[in-house]
Amino acid sequence: MSDSPWTDRIVGARMTVDQEFTSRIVESQFSSQQWSLIMTATEFEIEHPDDPDRARIVANTEKVEQIIPELENVGAGMGMGGQPQGRQGGSSSGGVLGSIKGALGLGGGDGGDSHAEQERAAEQLTQEYADELQSHLESNGRWDSVRQAAATEE
């Protein structure tokens, strides 16, 4: 998240959406720790803030690619006694063994595909979050003021 004034205006809304979005994270391939890492690498922007009909919150995930390898390290520490990993198993071969192999760098060549899949999933999920955030702001009558604040920053 950037330090711009429009983002400062939505801190409370983000906290609410974070809580509401938890069930979506549980259904995803990411653990909550992995999701936190993804969100740290994601910045939210408002496209076309000066146009009320076209304005929308988008997830800028340019930096997510840089943290994808770290997701496996965060995921490798999960499982068995920790929080369930959902459908994610550390590599496409799956399971604890796949996580251990990945952590040791013995992933067997599918890491590129696995990383690309994780990146696509992260991008999709962060955009779903952005859509939920905008919907929340709209339903609370705050979207126009947030959009206008973003427009004045350009």
**Paired tokens of 58:** 């988008």
pLDDT in tens, 96-111: 555 555 555 555 445 5
Amino acid at position 14, single letter? R
Q: How confident is the model at residue 72 (pLDDT cuts 50, 70, 90)?
A: confident
Instruction: Convert the pLDDT of each residue in 11-58 to its tens digit.
Output: 999 999 999 999 999 999 999 999 999 999 999 999 999 999 999 999
Average pLDDT over residues 54-75: 93
Distance (Å, whole) CA 116 – CA 70: 14
How far is residue 137's CA from residue 154's CA, in Å, rounded to a whole number?
A: 20
Contact 28, 35 (CB under 8 A): yes
Whether the per-residue pLDDT at 78 is higher than 90: the answer is: no
Contact indicator for 17, 140 with CB cutoff of 8 Å: no
3-state helix, strand, coil in the chain (%, to 5): 60, 5, 35
Backbone angles phi, psi at 81, to 5 degrees: -90, -10
Neighbours of 87 (CB within 10 A): 11
Q: How far is CA 104 from CA 66, 75, 127, in A?
A: 19, 13, 32
pLDDT at position 4? 60
What is the Cα–Cα distance from 133 to 131, expressed in whole angstroms? 5
What pLDDT was estimated at residue 96? 52
